[in-house]
Chain A
Amino acid sequence: MTVQQIIEKFNFSPLSLPCPEREVSGGYTGDLLSWVMGRASQDNAWITIMSNINIVAVASLSDVSVVILAEGVSADSGVLETAEQKGVNIVSSELPAFEIAVRIADSV
């Protein structure tokens, strides 16, 4: 399933979407950046409530296909501009991380 399809299916809000056609192969949930770096796999959807600028570097380096900000968390415009430039997809959802993870798990 692509990032675009997941956005449409679950009504996520796209905040930065430079690569909508990227495949989502699974997911990882976590807010500690080094844990994410160490454990998330390439093409995962990364579900987090962390929204500072460092998520862009972590998402880019660990090569996840999309960052899903849970619980209605948003990111400031500087973060989103950087994400656009670096080719990092970021979406937002009002759902808690657990609920998002369940939906992603059922879809991929």
Chain B
Amino acid sequence: MSEFLNFHFDVDGENFVSAGQASVQVKKNLRELGLPPEIIRQVSIAMYEGEINMVIHAGGGVADVNVYEDRIVIILADTGPGIKDIELAMTEGYSTATDNVRSLGFGAGMGLPNMKRYTDEMTIESEVGKGTTITMCVYLK
């Protein structure tokens, strides 16, 4: 059960043009593995939201997608400012994004709620000034 397939990505901070590249690549990789479309959609949307968060708030980070026999685990880790109040950050519509980010269509306060919505498990570990690690799990059955 400990055997898994790993996809690793460095997420470039402050770069909205390339934001989403890792998620689109994951989608392609999962499709090649022959996983069900709805699972692929869940994983890639959750990952995209996390990727965008890392670009907006944390100056980038690293993303790992581990494919196990019975589940997919997505780990997004950054060394950004951290989340002060996780419960508040999980509230739909709550956002700390700048006007510039909002003008691009982001910052609606739906990122973390969407990540929770599209995954079966989600944990957030965050320390102000140190960074944030989000672990999400999507079951394959």
Q: Are B20 and A34 in contact (CB under 8 A)?
A: no
- Closest B residue to A36 by CB, please name it: B105
Q: Helix, strand, loop or mixed for chain A's interface?
A: helix
- Chain B interface size range: 20 to 34
Q: Are A42 and B41 in contact (CB under 8 A)?
A: yes
Most-contacted residue by chain B among A38, A50, A60 (CB, 10 A): A38
Q: How many A-B residue pairs have CB under 8 A?
A: 70
Q: Which of B37, B44, B114 contacts A34 (CB 8 A)?
A: B114
Chain B residues in 8 Å Cβ range of A32: 105-106, 108, 110
Chain A residues in 8 Å Cβ range of B37: 42, 63
Binding site for A on B (CB under 8 A): 16-17, 19-21, 23-24, 27, 37-38, 41, 44-45, 48-49, 52, 104-106, 108-111, 113-114, 117-118
Binding site for B on A (CB under 8 A): 31-35, 37-38, 42, 50, 52-58, 60-63, 86
